[in-house]
Amino acid sequence: MPFRIYLAGFDVFRPDAIAHGRTLQALCAEAGIEGLYPLDHQAPAELAGPDLAHWIYRANVQLIQSADGVLANLNPFRGAEPDSGTAFEVGYAVALGKPVWAYTQQSGTVVEQVSVGQASDAGGPRYIDANGYTVEDFGMNLNLMLACSATVVVGDARACLRRIAEHLRNAR
């Protein structure tokens, strides 16, 4: 039975979401992995609003539970940060003890991505964003809660799948 991986990401919001999901699943198959694409677009037609949202939530949580791991698209979405739903899915998988691999095109540190200046106070100098909030400076390209909980690959889904396949070969 192939390793089953949940395909987390904001890709479900693309205009070509279903076709893109099939492309991701084909990339997974090339790596000997079964890709489980979120079920957002397979909901019963009669559902709408909160009922639809709850159906999608339950279906995707069950899909994560059935998976062996997660592949997460952590590229910025609607701003400087990854999609909040994807961040939840990563955290949920980690809480279940499942391995998470993530990919992003963001190679620069969080400071390089969002810092607009520096400030100084009793705690010493710190980087700040446009709203004056401290920008974490750990030399990572994602928030520490994502960067420390996943194997992060700078690149695309294909590069990340190569890393997963390599991990699976070495684990045997």
3 state DSSP class of 131: coil
**Predicted confidence (pLDDT) per residue in 106-118, tens digit:** 999 999 999 889 9
- For residues 73-97, average pLDDT: 97
pLDDT tier, 172 (very low <50, low <70, confident <90, very high otherwise): confident
- The C-alpha atoms of residue 100 and residue 152 are separated, in whole angstroms, by 9
Rounded distance between C-alpha atoms, residue 166 and residue 140, angstroms: 23
Taking residues 74-82, what's their average pLDDT? 96
**pLDDT of 19 higher than 90:** yes
The 3-class SS string of 70-108 reads EEEECCCCCCCCCCHHHHHHHHHHHHCCCCEEEEECCCC
pTM here is 0.95
Confidence band of 80 (pLDDT split at 50, 70, 90) = very high
